[in-house]
Chains A and B, each alone.
Chain A
Amino acid sequence: MTYLADVAALTRKDLRVELRGRDTLPAMLLFVLATLVVFHFALPEGSGDTAAYGLLWVAIVFTALLGLARAWVPEQEHRVLDGLVLAPCDRSAIWLGKTLATLVFLLAAQAVALPVFVLFFEPLHAAALAGVVLADVGICAVGSLMAAMAAASRAREVLLPLLVLPLAIPLIVGGVGAAVSADAERFILFLLLYDAVFAVLSWASFEYVVTE
């Protein structure tokens, strides 16, 4: 219970910081909407579902990257991460709080972006939506850890995509598969497995990322 209370306090803090600063969510929203508008005009008519779903995933991954790039900025200012690391709570709670907050921002951006996608391109069926949500969980779990690693480096803007994009490839395969394949269940199960494995790995390794 104490662990969950720590996670809740840390997530609430991230949401409050964003509500005050409005640094991340408006940027994510504008980016994803602008990207979908560009794709709408760039994609030739009659290109079909597959191409549209592919472009949706490009928009989702880069919007998530934008959010992840900002994820640890409040902790970098005034070196707050040192203060959190010193606290006697389980350090993985810091990662989980950040992952949940980033997931909330990504879901909020998609709550606006997905209806726009439907308007411009194709309707989204249940399996495609499930694929999006499961991929969001995976990208936020892995991405929060990688963003913490990148934040400690001077070349963080360059490092983050280099760390996250290779790890996001299975998520894109699963997400697109869930949207276009006749055997969507197989891809949903694959995404569930990816989320479980990488969430546990990220949870267990966060402590080593934030200690010298």
Chain B
Amino acid sequence: MIRGRAVEKRYGRKRVLTGVDLAVPAGGFAVVTGPNGSGKTTLLRLLAGLAAPSRGDLVIGAERSRVGYLAHEPLVYRELSAAENLDLYGRLYRVRERRERVGMLLERFGLWDVRNERVSTYSRGMTQRLALCRTLLHDPELLVLDEPYSALDEDGAALVDRELDGLAGSRTFVVATHDPARLESLATQRVALA
């Protein structure tokens, strides 16, 4: 699914990612670890297709429409409600039976009762749940997740565990985390950035 050789990313003169090799087969679960500033987020942006490598080869075996990217930021409009945000993304991703899919995800992530309230009124944890809904909305085959447990309480984290458990094996995952122990049982490989 993913093959990268000597992948490097520079912004101007600043080198933020150096010589990364990785190969993640379809159905694999790669956990990316490393200290702050090691380039985890940059690597994930490359894998999601938001940036191109400055050097090296990177081949992603999934179309843009089949990649789900959970970023540090939730990538949703603050002035729109959860339902409106997901409806917009559902249209752009051409999700079939959009309304049913949106409703199902909102219910699964505990946001159904607040679906018509503006995102600006949500807590950080609720916004992260909505970001997870957005990531899963179009049923992606490659999931690129940057700190999926960020800002979630125990219930929210357990919800993410359940989702990852259910999808692992049938989808390809690349997950950056500061808590690799939590994903130990799912991980098929580890990518350590220095």
Grouping DSSP codes into helix (H, G, I), strand (E, B) and loop, the B interface class, with mixed when no group exceeds half, is loop
* A10-59 interface with B by 8 A CB criterion: 10, 13, 16-17, 20-21
A86 touches B50 (CB 8 A): yes
**Which residue of chain B lies nearest to A83 when distances are taken between CB atoms in the complex?**
B75
A74-82, A104-112, A126-134, A162-170 - the one binding chain B: A74-82
Name the contact of B92 in the complex, choosing from A20, A78, A89, A212 (C-beta under 8 A).
A89
CA distance A197 to B48 in the complex (A): 33
* Contact present for A84 and B92 (CB under 8 Å): yes
Is B71 located at the chain interface by the 8 A CB criterion? yes
Q: Which residue of A lies closest to B64 (CB)?
A: A88
Q: Say whether, besides A9-B92, A89-B92, A82 and B78 are in contact (CB < 8 Å).
A: no
Which size bracket describes the interface of B in this complex? 20 to 34
A87 proximal to B (CB < 8 A): yes
Number of A-B pairs, beta carbon distance below 8 Å = 75
A36–B73 Cα distance when bound, in Å, is: 41
Which residues of B have CB within 8 Å of A82? 50, 69, 71, 73, 75
B169 interface residue per 8 A CB criterion: no
Q: Closest approach, in angstroms, between the C-beta of B92 and any C-beta of chain A?
A: 4
Residue in chain A with minimal CB distance to B63: A88
Contact across chains for A86 and B77 when beta carbons are under 8 A apart: no
Q: Mark B86-103, 1 if CB is under 8 A from A, else 0.
A: 001101111000000000
Residues of A within 8 A of B (CB): 2, 5-6, 9-10, 13, 16-17, 20-21, 74, 77-80, 82-89, 211-212
